Amino acid sequence: MESESLYNLLHLPGRVDQAAGVTLSQGEKKKFLPPTSRKDPKLEELQKVLTEWINAKLLPEHIVVRSLEEDIFDGLILHHLFQKLTGVKLDVEEIALTAASQRRKLAVVLEAAGQSLQVEEPQAQWSVESIFNKDLLATLHLLVALAKCFQPDLSLPTNVKVEVIIMESTKSGLKSEMSVEQLTESGTDKDQPSKDVFDELLKLAPEKVNAVKEAIVNFVNQKLDRLGLSVQNLDTQFADGVILLLLIGQLEGFFLHLKEFYLTPKSPAEMLHNVTLALELLKDEDLLNHPVSPEDIVNKDTKSTLRVLYGLFRKHKLKDSTDGEPLESPN
């Protein structure tokens, strides 16, 4: 393929072309995404899932990612994400203003990430140079690795692969070839998070969801009546964690000091604190049979809210049952 036709293939209207003016040393290779690959629906879906995942994780810090290609390169978001995922504090400056300091910060974060992932840079599909230069493929490889390691239940699109152009500088000039880059593995049952009753309910019998909600709301209101509280909307009233904590306290006999949670949360961070505390209490009592992200509760995800409440419903409805019949999945 001639270099002129390669330029035309790589050219994207309205943005600076990646290949324009690129300088390769002798024997150096670089990969580029052609426009057709950038518009691949599965690639776009992967970027969407990863972006939403990062934004949910960093919600308490009011950090919002809009573009993986433009927002990740300087190490700031990676720094916050890594600390959130691992709890490890890195000795780097919080705000790096110059390119040199951004590169240094990125290097520290990537070194720490490589140690956690047990991947050294020569074997990694990313590098300081590629991430700093806003290489979308390298950025996606890194984020997929982090998600698979620290949140294996995250539902990433399976078998995402895209065509890339590999350019190489040789003695006779630039050479190029097409290749396929695999970003996520082919899906198998083993790779996917196990499904629970609410996955099946929402997929196969969505018309029954309201009946299940009504049964759970009635149960909750019976238990909260002595506190003078009631729930009308299951989807929204548990998002700040307050009613959930009070309900757990009532049912499990916990006394929660007001210093331990926010009775009137005023920010997403305070809401997330409450919900995280509630989920930790439920885990301690073995009442969570399926992984639930506190961010999903704060974001008013119906399925996650149902999962949490059904654990309490099943245990205490059974305890209160006069006939002693065990309660299984919601019919």
pLDDT, one tens digit per residue, over 113-129 is: 888 888 776 678 888 99
For residue 180, what is the enclosing H or E element? Answer: strand 173-182
Mean confidence (pLDDT) of the chain: 79
147-151-157-159 Cα dihedral, nearest 10 degrees: 70
pLDDT beyond 90 at 243: yes
CA-to-CA distance for 248 and 278, rounded, in angstroms? 8
296 versus 187: the higher-pLDDT residue is: 296
| pLDDT at residue 145 in the model | 92
pLDDT at 94: 79
pLDDT band at 1 (very low <50, low <70, confident <90, very high): very low
- The whole-angstrom separation of Cα 126 and Cα 120 is 10
Residue type, 61: E
For 298, the token pair is 């704060």
pLDDT: which is higher, 21 or 300? 300
Q: Please say if the pLDDT value at position 183 is more than 60.
A: yes
User: Contact, 53 vs 44, CB < 8 A?
Assistant: no
The pLDDT score that the predictor gives to residue 15 is: 33
Give 46's contacts (C-beta < 8 A, 6+ positions apart).
140, 144, 156, 157, 160, 183, 184
How confident is residue 196, by pLDDT bands cut at 50, 70 and 90? low
Q: Is 92 helix (H, G, I), strand (E, B) or coil?
A: coil
Region 205-217 average pLDDT: 78
* Mean pLDDT score, 46-55: 90
- Tell me which of 10-14, 135-139, 232-236, 310-314 is least confident: 10-14
Residue percentage of the chain with pLDDT more than 70: 81
pLDDT band (50, 70, 90) for residue 240: very high
In the chain the domains, ranked by start, together with CATH numbers, are 32-160 (1.10.418.10), 197-316 (1.10.418.10)
How far is Cα 85 from Cα 303, in angstroms, rounded to an integer?
23
Whether 316 shows a pLDDT value over 70: the answer reads yes
Has residue 244 got a pLDDT over 90? Answer: yes
Q: What is the pLDDT of residue 277?
A: 87
Confidence (pLDDT) at 260? 85
Q: For the segment 68-101, what is each residue's pLDDT rounded down to a tens digit?
A: 989 988 889 999 999 888 888 888 877 778 888 8
According to the model, what pLDDT value does residue 276 have?
86
Q: Output the DSSP codes for 148-201.
A: HHH-TTS-PPSS-EEEEEEEEEETTEEEEEEEEEE-SPPP-TTTSPPP-HHHHH
Cα distance between residue 330 and residue 279, in whole Å = 21
Contact 188, 61 (CB under 8 A): no
User: Is it the case that residue 189 has pLDDT exceeding 70?
Assistant: no
Please determine, for residue 331, whether its predicted confidence score (pLDDT) is greater than 50: no
- Of 134-138, 192-196, 231-235, least confident by mean pLDDT is 192-196
Which residues neighbour 89 within 8 Å (Cβ) at sequence distance 6 or greater? 83
For the residues 299-327, what does the mean pLDDT come to?
72
Q: Are 128 and 110 in contact, with CB atoms under 8 Å apart?
A: yes
Instruction: Tell me how far apart the 2 most distant CA atoms of the chain are, in Å.
Output: 86
Judged against a pLDDT cut of 70, whether residue 296 lies above it is answered with: yes
| Average pLDDT for 140-147 | 92
| Averaged pLDDT for residues 131-150 | 91
User: 146 or 6: which carries more pLDDT confidence?
Assistant: 146
Backbone angles phi, psi at 327, to 5 degrees: -95, 120
**What single-letter amino acid sits at 43?**
L
* Per-residue pLDDT at 311: 83
Contacts of 232 (CB under 8 A, 6+ apart): 217
More confident call, 282 vs 29 = 282
Name the residue among 305, 181, 175 with its Cα closest to residue 240.
Answer: 305
At 151 the pLDDT is 83
Q: How far apart are CA 69 and CA 47, in angstroms?
A: 10
Average pLDDT over residues 320-329: 47
CB atoms within 10 A of CB 250: 18
